[in-house]
Structure 1
């Protein structure tokens, strides 16, 4: 595995996210932006809302508009929808309904880590370890289960006066792509983000038996909603949509995962066939590390082939060079890639291509041809 240049991130985490309720629209990936000739392959940034989710949201807006705390029919309908969604989301991550607290979204903070680095970074005052389950740029899946086992050993050895170390993982990129089970992983908290798995832009926090086994404290105060952990009248329609998106994941995960892997492998094979091994560098292929089935972080080597320049020249491909929330960094290479030991000139040329449920082999053929034409054009200009 590549040598890291920075220590792992062990920190408090913004569990509540940002205040956004917009939920997108029912679009095929070819129609996401700039007309039907564009092919969207940036599903790690956001996904279109599944048509079944749109239907559920629309039904909730029209039929369950009442306050869930009220006892008349529209309020009772809203309350039932929220309970059903809470239960569905909990089952998706191996929990129970009482473990789910609805939030407005989720935020990603962390880099690629190794188990021994995490354990070595623990201090006597450490009370929380927070690590993303899968990195949004490289797709590398973190060894969360192993980290949790080691942290439990540390907790057993700690003095009674020392705080128990709790474990949180941001599963935004993992849910809907690989199996996520809180109890198998051994975590206390999981961040769930709807717009990463074809749901609305709303989130949820899994807490293992909140307030009893696992502490959780409110950031806001007012009414008693969400068991007093997050007051405010519930956003019934978005919660309904999140529940439906979770139901689709629970029912179809094996199919989704197999499709993602097939398309990603086909993409990587086509890139190698067209550009050759001397010109292609895959930035997620590290011995002993698993990666998300849908994510390809690749650099096309050569002068003047910076990732942003390539994407701005492409006629068909819609992708990104890294995390959408860090898109203001100009041509600076990703610190994630640099920390993974990727050379600067390789990281500068990186493209993050992430495929979705409807991405086809034909889409891949078109995108690789587009990249070939773009690279030839840029090389002539150089």
Structure 2
């Protein structure tokens, strides 16, 4: 077996403790959890199988590290608030207070009310909970005998109808496809525009049926960064609902998955006009749990539990609360509420500089910016681009990179190999261009110096691949 010796390293690692590791005669190298900074500095060494001398993380749309304040909140809760939040003794009351404070911080981050926040295990659960609730509500309310008697109401036994778009996250797409396959619901997948990368409001409204009960459109796409026109959709749906109420038809609810937008731009549920909003902690430097905003929970907007047990989260999401992770989520939300504009400005500056440097080094004829659509806003941190060339498929370029840590698209689609992203194809990106795509997403600590390293790393990777041809 290989023997390892670990001792203190003298060389610096960006704002993190480091260790020196020696393996079977290879030169020592430093290892560090990639959490607080975007770069890792390591000692020069001759063992090619080990991590390179410096790495630059640019995959913040996949996940983010925990902020130091978040780590502190989690560890303090572990030490001081270990009691059951339902218990009356001090440790339990402390846990309950932490949960309530976190709920208030989440509400402040999105401009909502604390009583409209439910904690979940993450975005996948939140999205599934919305879909589950809407199906239950449709069958329990809108196909009752009283409704069926109305002249324009859906016939008894009718299926609920959902409208979404073709570039949604799998935690929306797959549950809806499953319901359609099981003949539990009907689903319309509206294509995004090949001009602006958005789900068009008119196309969504044109898909409405008498049995339509939910429109679910993500707030920002995880691959292109394109911001969807959720406020416009909300305005049109609300106007339509007034006419549907008069006709005795079910009201259409609106959900948005805000996983990619939170922490990168200001999000306000009142401006958006949504009934449900999904919150994902690990996308804004928080722990890997989530939450769901439900406007006027149970009074205005229906929510039905998927789990049954204790009375936690007002019976909507039973199970003893994960106090430390909720504490961390609350702290992450507090940081976003206080600093969002500064985060956004910094990330936009670095992202724009990255695109400038790519065009300068490779030329406008070789670089195709896949995330720039005329007339569409996009996330301030996301740069999806392709380097043109027959040997330059995205996964091959990344494999040759010595420093860059990034992806070719969504983390949940990392098994695509050399197949192009379905999202990019849906947006009208040509097949040979989409196959070469790289998604670089910068973070709060990414610098222009990191950009310079990445551009040079890409240049050497391209030279290697074209030299092998």
TM above 0.5 = yes
Matched ranges for 1:13-92 at <5 A: 26-31=35-40, 34=51, 37-92=54-109
The residue number in structure 2 matching 1:349 is: 436
Pairing partner for 1:339 from 426, 445, 455 = 426
Out of 400, 405, 408, which is 1:321 matched to? 408
Residue in 2 that maps onto 1:263: 350
- Using the TM superposition, give the Cα deviation of residue 79 of structure 1 relative to its aligned residue in structure 2, in angstroms: 0.3
Larger radius of gyration: 2
8 A Cα contact 1:297 1:352, kept in partner:
yes
Deviation at 1:356, TM superposition (A): 0.4
TM-score by structure 1 length?
0.92
Q: Aligned pair 1:218/2:305, yes or no?
A: yes
Aligned counterpart, 1:277: 364
How much does 1:214 deviate? 0.7
Of 197, 208, 212, the residue aligned with 1:122 is 208
TM-score when normalising by structure 2: 0.75
What displacement does 1:255 show?
A: 0.5
* Alignment match, 1:163: 250
Q: 1:212-251 CA distances to partner (integer Å, 9 max, x unpaired)?
A: 0111110011111101100010000000000000000001
Cα displacement (A) at 1:160: 4.2
Match 2:228 to one of 127, 142, 154: 142
Q: Which runs of 5+ in 1 are unaligned?
A: 1-23
* TM-align CA RMSD: 1.5
Contact 2:39 2:450 (8 Å CA) reproduced: no
Aligned residues: 359
Hey, what's the Cα distance between the residues in 1 that align with 2:390 and 2:236? 45
Q: 1:43 to 1:224 in 2, by over 3 A?
A: same
> Which whole-Å CA distance do the structure 2 matches of 1:38 and 1:102 have between them?
35
Q: Give distance in 1, aligned partners of 2:374 and 2:36.
A: 38
Q: How far 1:276 moved relative to its partner?
A: 0.4
1:243 paired residue number: 330
Moved more, 156-165 or 228-237: 156-165
Bigger Cα displacement from structure 2, 185-194 vs 372-381: 372-381
- What does the per-residue CA deviation read over 1:170-201, in whole Å, with 9 as the maximum and x for residues that have no partner? 00000000110001100001000000000000
Match of 2:268 among 181, 185, 199: 181
Measured in 2, the distance between the counterparts of 1:261 and 1:26 equals: 21
**What is the DSSP-based 3-state SS (H/G/I as helix, E as strand, rest coil) of the residue aligned with 1:38?**
strand
Matched position secondary structure for 2:277: strand
> Secondary structure of the residue that 1:137 maps to in structure 2?
coil
Contact 1:260 1:357 in 2 (8 A): yes
Q: Which has the higher contact order (CA 8 A, sep 6+)?
A: 1
- Contact residue 82 and residue 95 of structure 2 kept, 8 A: yes
Contact 1:29 1:48 in 2 (8 A): no
